[in-house]
Chains A and B, each alone.
Chain A
Amino acid sequence: MIKVVGLLFFFLSSSVLALDVSLHGVDISLGGFLQGNYTPRIVDGNDFILAEERFQLKLEASYSGVSIFTKTDVFYDAVGNEVGFDIREAYLDYFSKLWDVRVGRQIITWGVGDLIFINDVFPKDFAAFFEGRPLEYLKKGVDAFKFDLYLNVISMEFILIPIFERDTLPSPPRFIIFDPFSQIKDREIEEPKTNLENTQIALRLYRNILGFDASLYIYKGFFLIPAVEPDNLASPTKLILFFPRLAVYGASLQGSVFSGVLSLEGAYYDSLDDRNGDDPAVTNSQTKFLVGFQRELWRDFTAEFQYSGEYMYEYGEYLQTLPPGFPKQDRFRQLMTLRLTQFLRYQTLRLSFFAFFSPSGKDYMLIPEVRYNITDHLWAALGANIFGGKETTFFGQLDKNDNVYIVLRYEF
C-alpha cells in the first residue's frame, strides 16, 4: 500500500517535473519516465531474466546555437540485486550555418536495415534486446566527437571515438548460453587502450539522388564483439577476450519504389588482423548486404521483409584452422526478417510481429508484441522473445531463454 501511495505521489510530482521554460533566453526542457520492466523465462524454470524499475531524466538547455543534452537513468535491478546509474547520453551541440559539432556521449545509428546492422558500426547492447527491454536500449552511447558538414553537393558526418566501447552480449547468469569454453572460468578482457592510434574513425557521405537517400560509409576501428583465444590450446587455463582491428567500407540506398520503400545496403568488412583467414580466433573478412522492402498493405498496417547475407572470405583457411569440436560457421550465412505492424483504436493499440529466420543456419527468433497507450502519459507493452534452432547457431544458442516481457512506462 505504501508502495502504491509512493508511486502515485511520484507520478504527481513527476508531472510537475516535466518542464518547458525559457529563462534569460535559455530554453530549458525537462522530461523523462518511470518504468517497470519484467521478463520471466518461460522454459526451464520460472526465474526472471530481468526485473527492474528505472527512472530516466532528460534535460536539454539551449542558447543561441549552443545546446546541451543529458539523459540519465537510475535503476533498481532485482535479478542482480543492485542499484545502478547510467549516463545514456550527455553531449554538447554547436550549430553553425554550414556545420555542426557534437561532443560527448552520444548514440549514433547508421544504415537502412531494420535490426540488421551492416554499416552501423556503433556499440549495441544485444543482451538488452534479448531480455525484452524497449528497443532504444539496444543502442549504446559512445564518447565521441562528431562533426557535420552540409554542402549543396553533399553532406558529411565525421566521427572520432577515442574511448572504446564494446557490444554487450547475452551472458550467464541471466542467460543460459552455449559456450565452447565453458570449463575455463578464468577470463581476461583486453580492450583497446585509449590513445591516438586506437581512436576509431567513421565517415559518412550522403545526399539525395533522384529521390533516393544515398550514403557512403567508411570505418576504421575494431570488432566490437570479442575474439576469444585460450592461453594454451592443448591445456587451456585462461581465456583472453580481445578486439581485433576492423575496417568497413559500405554504401546504402533507400527510396520509394512500387508504392513502398526499398532499402539496399552493403559493406566489405576488412579483418585487418586476419586477412589471410588463418587465425581461428579472429573473424575473417566478409561481404555483407541486405535488401529490404516495406509497404503499407492496408490502412495502418505495414509489412516489411528483409533478406541479408554474409559471405566469408578465405573459407578454406578458416576450415583448416578451426579447432576440433568447434561449431562450424557457414561460408554464406543468410538471414531474413519479417515485420508486421497493425495500429488499431486510433493508434493507441499496436500489434506487431517481428521474425528473424536464417535459411542457412535454420535458426530463428520471434517477437510478438502488443502495446497499448493507456493515456498520453502511460503505456504498457506485453511481448515475447522466442528463440529456436540448433545449439550452435546464433539464435539457437539462446533457445533456453525464451521469455515473456512486460513494460509499463509512465512518461512525462
Chain B
Amino acid sequence: MRKILCSIVILAFPFFILILSHLSYSQANLPADEIIRRSQAAFYYPGTDMKAKVLMKLVTKDGRERIRDFTMLRKNLDKEGGEQRYFIYFYKPPDVKDMTFMVWKYPGKDDDRWLFIPAIKLVKRIAASDKRSSFVGSDFSFEDVSGRDAEEDNHSLLKEEMFNGKDTYVIKSVPKNEGSADYSYKVSWIDKESLIPLKEEYYDKRGELYKVFTADVVKEIQDFPTVTKRTMKNVQSGHRTEVTFEEVGYNNGIGDEIFSERYLRNPPQKWIR
C-alpha cells in the first residue's frame, strides 16, 4: 500500500509541476519585465537595420507649427537589447539643413553622440549624460526616441484590457532611481499581439499626468509591426509633437561603415535620399 502511494506521488509529481506552472502562466501570462523587454525589442529593434524618412511636426498650444524633416538610419549590432547605431540627416528646417547626427547606443552605458556642423565643417562630440533632454526641440526625449533600459524601472502588470479594439497588457513602470526619469511612474498599454505600445501615460513627481504617447497608425511593413504615425503630447503645456514615418524599410543591408566620421561629413546619398 505504501509502495503504491509512493509511486502515485512520484508519478503525479511532474503533472503537479506542469499544472502549477500552467496556473502561473495563465495568471500573469508573462512577467511584466518580460513584456516590457519584448515590447522594446518590437518597438526599437525590428530588423537588422531600418531606414525611414521622418517628419516631425512640433505644434504649440495656439497651433503654431515647426517642422523637423530628416532621414534616419538604424542598425543593430547585436541582437535585441544590444548595441545600436543611429545616423540622422536633416533636411529641414533650413538652419539645420545638411547637418548630420550620429549615435552609438550602448545598453547600460552613456551613448556616444556626434554632430556635424556643415557651415564650419566641424565634427563635434556631444555630451550625452541626460537622456531626458529634448530630441531636436520636440516633446520626445532622447530616451523616447532610442529607448530606455528596461532594467531601470520596476514593472508590474496592472491589468489586461481592450484598448482601441486590441487586447492589451497594462503595465506600470516605476523608476528604480527617482532621479533617472522625469516621470514618477508610467502606464503603458501594450498590444498583446504585436507587443507595440499603443499608449503611454507619464505621471510627474506630483503624480499628475503630463505626457501622453499614442501610436496613431500601426502598419505591418515587411512583417514588422511599425508605428508610422505617433504623437507625444504634453497635456500640461498643450504642446505636442506629431511624427510620421515614411518610406520605412527593414533589412536594407546598411553597412557598419556608414556610422562613421566619413559619412557624418559626407552623408551617404544612397541611404539618405
Contact = CB atoms under 8 A, between A and B. Distances in A.
Contact of B95 (A155, A302, A379): A379
A230 to B, nearest CB: 37
A150 interface: yes
A412 B133 contact: no
Interface in B41-77: 58, 66-67
B126 interface: yes
A27 B58 CA distance: 28
A348 interface: yes
Nearest to A136: B119
Interface residues of B, number: 36
A62 interface: yes
A375 B67 CA distance: 10
A260 interface: yes
Contacts of A106: 121
Contact of B93 (A135, A294, A377): A377
B239 interface: yes
A20 B139 CA distance: 28
A378 B67 CA distance: 13
B262 interface: yes
A100 interface: yes
A233 to B, nearest CB: 41
Contacts of B266: 93, 95, 100
The secondary structure that dominates the A interface is strand
B128 A296 contact: yes
A311 to B, nearest CB: 27
Count class of interface residues, chain A: 35 or more
B91 to A, nearest CB: 7
Contacts of B95: 373, 376, 379, 409, 411
B120 interface: yes
B268 to A, nearest CB: 9
Given A206-B261, A299-B133, A376-B93, A109 B120 contact: yes
B120 A139 contact: yes
B269 interface: yes
Interface string A208-224: 00010100000000000
Given A155-B261, A206-B261, A376-B92, A31 B130 contact: no
8 contacts: A31-B94, A93-B266, A106-B121, A261-B125, A343-B134, A409-B95, A411-B93, A411-B94
